[in-house]
């Protein structure tokens, strides 16, 4: 196992799945950082039984905030790379070696989810929209800008000034990483979605879409000034 890599698991009220996700990750990575984002459903008690690094927020602060705190812990602990994975069982920890095999210096690796028939139309449309605006801001054609299953280089990403604290973190970090010359690659991964009645989601359709829309507006305006500078600096 590679001791320079850790796994960061942001979790909020996923008591049913988080234990298995941790155990399956440990088959590939020894070092697990769990950010308990104010859970109140028994999640906290489950992760305390695991041999992992735990940081607990006193209240729910958002997925983006949890990942940023995980990155700070990873940097302080001396890890060079981290893999983020959702706690709901959507991602397959058995795909961790795929991300590691694609590892290159100063590169983000995105796990591109293979959407099957049980994925909602709203999710598919949301990914297309996110991909479009990311390309508009970065001139990069990416296939899954909403995937939370990623490998990050810790120091370069920790140094970015990411303002987003919710689901919008995952698009802002890609855009600003691209502007800083951090490469972005993708590898295919599997995905599992429970039946709608059993699925636990913390995405608030109206509020979170409004937050993401505001972010895209800001990034598009910034892109008019940033992309020319990027090409002057990195495309000589």
Q: Which domains does the chain have, with CATH numbers?
A: 5-234 (3.90.550.10)
Per-position b or e across 14-44, b if 16+ CB within 10 A of its CB = bbbbbbebbebbbebbebbbbbbbbbeeebb
Residue pair 64/41 in contact (Cβ under 8 Å)? The answer is no
With H, G, I as helix, E, B as strand and everything else as coil, classify residue 99.
Answer: helix
> Which pLDDT belongs to residue 38?
95
What are 123's two structure tokens? 């999710």
Give the mean pLDDT of the chain: 88
> Which pLDDT belongs to residue 125?
85
The mean pLDDT of 51-64, rounded to a whole number, is 95
Q: Is the predicted pLDDT of residue 236 greater than 60, yes or no?
A: no
Q: What is the pLDDT confidence band of residue 27, given thresholds at 50, 70 and 90?
A: very high
Q: Is the predicted pLDDT of residue 199 greater than 60, yes or no?
A: no
What are 133-155's pLDDT values in tens digits? 899 889 899 999 999 999 999 99
Cβ contacts of 8 within 8 Å, gap of 6 or more: 33, 35, 67, 70, 71, 74, 82, 83, 84, 85
Task: Look up the pTM and report it.
Answer: 0.87
Q: Is the predicted pLDDT of residue 107 greater than 90, yes or no?
A: yes
């Amino acid at each position: 196992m590679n001791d320079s890599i850790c796994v960061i698991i942001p979790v909020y009220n996923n008591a049913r799945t988080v234990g298995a996700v941790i155990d399956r990750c440990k088959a590939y990575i020894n070092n697990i950082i769990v950010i308990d984002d104010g859970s109140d459903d028994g999640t906290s008690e489950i992760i305390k039984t695991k041999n992992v690094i735990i940081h607990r927020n006193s209240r729910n602060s958002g997925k983006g905030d949890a990942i940023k705190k995980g990155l700070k812990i990873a940097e302080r602990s001396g890890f060079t790379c981290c893999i983020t994975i959702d706690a709901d069982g959507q991602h397959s920890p058995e795909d961790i070696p795929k991300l590691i095999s694609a590892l290159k210096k100063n590169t983000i690796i995105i796990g591109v989810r293979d959407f099957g028939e049980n994925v909602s139309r709203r999710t598919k449309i949301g990914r297309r929209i996110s991909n479009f605006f990311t390309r508009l801001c970065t001139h990069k054609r990416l296939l899954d800008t909403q995937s939370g299953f990623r490998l990050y280089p810790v120091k370069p990403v920790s140094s970015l000034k990411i303002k987003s604290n919710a689901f919008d973190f995952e698009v802002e970090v890609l855009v600003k990483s691209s502007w800083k010359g951090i490469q972005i690659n993708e590898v295919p991964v599997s995905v599992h979605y429970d039946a709608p009645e059993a699925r636990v989601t913390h995405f608030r359709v109206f509020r979170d879409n409004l937050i993401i829309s505001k972010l895209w507006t800001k990034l598009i305006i910034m892109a008019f000034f940033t992309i020319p500078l990027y090409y002057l600096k990195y495309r000589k």
